[in-house]
Amino acid sequence: MNLAQREPSPFKTYDEPERRRWMSSPFLAGMLFLLPSLVLFGVFLFYPMMRTIYLSLYLIDTQGEPLVFVGVENFINLFQSSSFQTSAKATGLFVLYTVPIGLILALVLALLANEKVKGIGFFRTMFSSTMGMSVAASSVIWMFMYNPSIGIMNRLLSGIGMSEVQWLLDPQFALMSVAAATIWMNTGFTFLILLGGLQNIDQQLYESARVAGVSDWYKLRKITLPMLSPTLFFVTVVSLINSFQTFGQIDILTKGGPMESTNVIVYSIYKDAFINYNVGSASAQAVLLFFCILIVTVLQFKLTERKVHYQ
Amino acid sequence: MSLTKKIVTYTLLASFTLIMMFPILYAFLISFMQGGEVLQGKLWPESFSFDNYISAFEKVPLLTYLLNSLIVSTVIMIGVLAVSSLAAFAFVFINFKGRDILFYLFISTMMIPWEAAMVPNFQTVQALGWLNSYAGLTIPFFALAFGTFLLRQQFKTIPHELYEASQVSGISRFRFFYKIALPVSKTSMVTLGIYSFLTAWNMYLWPLLVTNNEAVRTVQIGLKQMQSQEISTEWGVVMAGVVIVILPTLVLLFLGQKRLQEGLTQGAIK
């Protein structure tokens, strides 16, 4: 680049002030700094998303090439298929099972780990440990824990005199079992972010509260939670989106079964696209997933906008 | 803190630690058991033998998988740090027309579930000839809105006067970015680095799609391969595989977490 500047340009020569103005143009500088992100988002996010929407409106051959424009037919087929209805229900329930409990658990852990007692570093590390656990490794462990004959879950149940459960094979329990495993897997990350948020709260607020002699409960409600609200808002959105995107644990634990009871949307897309070679259906589902997440995120922004306390 | 409160706090801390750590400890213990002990549903192995670990390495090319995962995760981490910090800098320090629109564009990327775009992405990577390559496994993940926002929050804490002063004294934007903004944001960079490394190591769906030979397969897919081959017969070997896979990231997390806390404490003191 330096070389090019030294050589006389055949197109246009800039005199020094003009060149400096050009270099210091905020627009150009801004775009240069953003260029890598913009290119990557363009190629690997916006283009494929547009392409997905495009494919969802076509009849697609098994090679993934669009044949005929069919409008919303893929969507109509989808809504009429009982398989998709099951999948939509499974996804909704899964979000409902994992997000609120996961957040509360991580918040409790973060509040506990924010106490200034001896050896707290050890507990913080332990609480965040699942962040270092891959979804594949975690799923294999939970698969063993749920093993009907030798896993710990059924041994605990029989230990307290209850009848054994086919955790992953019973359509009634499979989704909940996967959800429990998922909550555990996600706790480490949520905990770490919330702990970071707690530690960023100005200590003087607590100091003043201590001088004023208010109760712990009051401090939690009037200082901690309001000051933590931007972080809470952030982790809620992230957890929701994560939950919609669940795949690995389904693939390893249940493969969408039994009776499609755990066939959550991303697994269903994967199966349609890469196993059944039905790209039209997969694309239509992907578009619906996109709109679900869009609506959820926009709603969250709108709802929390005024209630969240930003510093 | 009163004694009662202390006791309650420690009891709660200990019980939650037990709950959170149990699956990991369980995997660890099972990995030392012999076939018979596993089937009896024991909790504690009679003896700690490394037989399962040896068979794990013999049954699947675990070392190759581990190395692949290490390469992929490191490359993604560096890519994310570079790309996100550049973008975050533009959003905080460079005031240009259209910045707000681009910021909304970045926010909008968080609303696009990556999985919704995976079919065309697969076709793109295939067309580029990137199937079964490190490029295909890493480059699509370099741009990260979350990383940009995280660093943007951090860059915002750098006094704008400092930037203006540097502009007046003729220091280029990139120099300010490189010499001042990045060094003072070390803690956030470490946080983001650890985060991106761990998520890359954790990746499952994409490697499953774009790799089908052992030369580039990551360790997560290796684990799935192991589990589906060995199921119900040799859980001890499978768990040995699990322990091998989780050890590097757990160690990184334990080390990194300390660093993270030091950073936070330093920030609090100064």
The phi-psi region of residue A163 (left if phi > 0; otherwise alpha if psi is between -120 and 50; otherwise beta) is beta
Interface contact A128-B253, CB threshold 8 A: yes
Place of tokens 């990991």: B24
Per-residue model confidence (pLDDT) at position A307:
53
User: Cβ(B242)–Cβ(B27) under 8 Å?
Assistant: yes
Task: Please give the structure tokens belonging to residue B20.
Answer: 């959170």
- pLDDT category at B26 given cuts 50, 70, 90 is very high
> How many interchain CB pairs under 8 A, A with B?
271
CA A185 – CA A102 distance, rounded (Å) = 10
Among residues A134, A110, A105, which one has the least CA distance to residue A124?
A110
Compute CA distances A41 → A21, A87, A241, B105, B129, whole Å: 29, 29, 18, 10, 20
Task: Please give the structure tokens belonging to residue B78.
Answer: 């560096």
Among residues A76, A74, A191, A178, which one has the least CA distance to residue A123?
A191
CA B258 – CA B32 distance, rounded (Å) = 29
- pLDDT category at B262 given cuts 50, 70, 90 is very low
What's the pLDDT tens digit per position in B41-86?
778 888 888 888 998 888 888 899 999 999 999 999 999 999 999 9
Residue A128 at interface with chain B, using a CB cutoff of 8 Å: yes
DSSP A169: T
Q: What is the pLDDT along chain A (311 residues), one digit of tens a residue?
A: 444 444 444 444 445 555 555 556 888 888 999 999 999 999 999 999 999 999 999 998 888 788 889 989 999 999 999 999 999 999 999 999 999 999 999 999 999 999 888 889 899 989 988 888 889 999 999 999 999 888 889 888 988 888 888 999 999 999 999 999 999 999 988 898 888 888 888 888 888 888 888 888 888 888 888 888 888 887 888 898 889 999 999 999 999 879 899 999 999 999 999 999 899 999 999 999 999 888 888 887 777 665 555 43
User: Cβ(B176)–Cβ(B166) under 8 Å?
Assistant: yes
DSSP, residue by residue, B246-265: HHHHHHHHHHHHHHHHHHHH
Per-residue model confidence (pLDDT) at position A127:
92
The dihedrals phi and psi of B233, each to the nearest 5 degrees, come to: -100, -55
What residues in B contact A142, CB-CB < 8 Å?
Answer: 23
Per-residue model confidence (pLDDT) at position A5:
45
Q: Which ipTM was obtained for this model?
A: 0.86
What's the pLDDT tens digit per position in B210-223?
998 888 999 999 99
Residue A220 at interface with chain B, using a CB cutoff of 8 Å: no
Task: Please give the structure tokens belonging to residue B239.
Answer: 């768990």
| Candidate from A37, A136, A141 with C-beta closest to B224 | A136
Distance between B199 CA and the closest CA of chain A, angstroms: 8
Q: What is the pLDDT averaged over residues B235-255?
A: 89
Distance between A30 CA and the closest CA of chain B, angstroms: 5
Q: Does domain B51-267 have CATH number 1.10.3720.10?
A: yes
Domain coordinates of chain B in residue numbers? 51-267
Task: Please give the structure tokens belonging to residue A58.
Answer: 């076509």
Place of tokens 């997560």: B220
Choosing among B1, B86, B112, which should be mutated to test the A contact, i.e. which has the most A CBs within 10 A?
Answer: B112
User: Cβ(B25)–Cβ(B44) under 8 Å?
Assistant: no
Q: What is the pLDDT averaged over residues B129-143?
A: 95
- What radius of gyration, in Å, describes the C-alpha atoms of chain B? 23
Interface contact B223-A144, CB threshold 8 A: no
- What radius of gyration, in Å, describes the C-alpha atoms of chain A? 26
DSSP, residue by residue, A275-299: IS--HHHHHHHHHHHHHHHHHHHHH
What residues in A contact B227, CB-CB < 8 Å?
Answer: 140, 143, 252
Residue B190 has pLDDT above 90, yes or no: no
User: Cβ(B38)–Cβ(B236) under 8 Å?
Assistant: yes
Interface contact A138-B23, CB threshold 8 A: yes
Residue B263 has pLDDT above 80, yes or no: no
Planar angle of CA A174, A176, A179, nearest 5 degrees: 110
Distance between A11 CA and the closest CA of chain B, angstroms: 26
Interface contact B204-A251, CB threshold 8 A: yes
Interface contact B245-A137, CB threshold 8 A: yes
Cis peptide before B159 (omega within 30 of 0): no
Residue A150 at interface with chain B, using a CB cutoff of 8 Å: yes
Selected from 1.10.3720.10, 3.90.110.10, 3.30.565.10, 1.20.1050.10, the CATH number assigned to the domain covering A81-305 reads 1.10.3720.10
Residue A246 at interface with chain B, using a CB cutoff of 8 Å: no
| Candidate from B24, B41, B239 with C-beta closest to A150 | B41
HSE on the CB side for A137, CA within 13 Å? 31
Choosing among B242, B243, B266, which should be mutated to test the A contact, i.e. which has the most A CBs within 10 A?
Answer: B242
Choosing among A141, A150, A210, A250, which should be mutated to test the B contact, i.e. which has the most B CBs within 10 A?
Answer: A141
Distance between B90 CA and the closest CA of chain A, angstroms: 5
Interface contact A141-B23, CB threshold 8 A: yes
Q: Is A69 helix (H, G, I), strand (E, B) or coil?
A: strand
Question: At residue A283, what is the residue type?
Answer: S
Interface contact B124-A48, CB threshold 8 A: yes
Distance between B249 CA and the closest CA of chain A, angstroms: 5
Among residues B215, B264, B228, B222, which one has the least CA distance to residue B242?
B222
What's the pLDDT tens digit per position in B87-108?
999 999 988 888 999 998 998 8
Q: What is the pLDDT averaged over residues B155-176?
A: 88
Per-residue model confidence (pLDDT) at position B270:
27
Interface contact A150-B40, CB threshold 8 A: yes
Interface contact B204-A134, CB threshold 8 A: yes
Among residues B235, B239, B250, which one has the least CA distance to residue B27?
B239
CA A24 – CA A27 distance, rounded (Å) = 9
The dihedrals phi and psi of A152, each to the nearest 5 degrees, come to: -70, -30
Interface contact B246-A51, CB threshold 8 A: no
CA A34 – CA B83 distance, rounded (Å) = 8
CA A104 – CA A92 distance, rounded (Å) = 19
Question: At residue A144, what is the residue type?
Answer: F
Quick count: other Cβ atoms within 10 Å of Cβ A255? 13
Among residues B204, B196, B207, which one has the least CA distance to residue B146?
B196
Residue A218 at interface with chain B, using a CB cutoff of 8 Å: no
DSSP A248: H
Domain coordinates of chain A in residue numbers? 2-42, 81-305
Positive or negative torsion for Cα A50, A53, A54, A55: positive
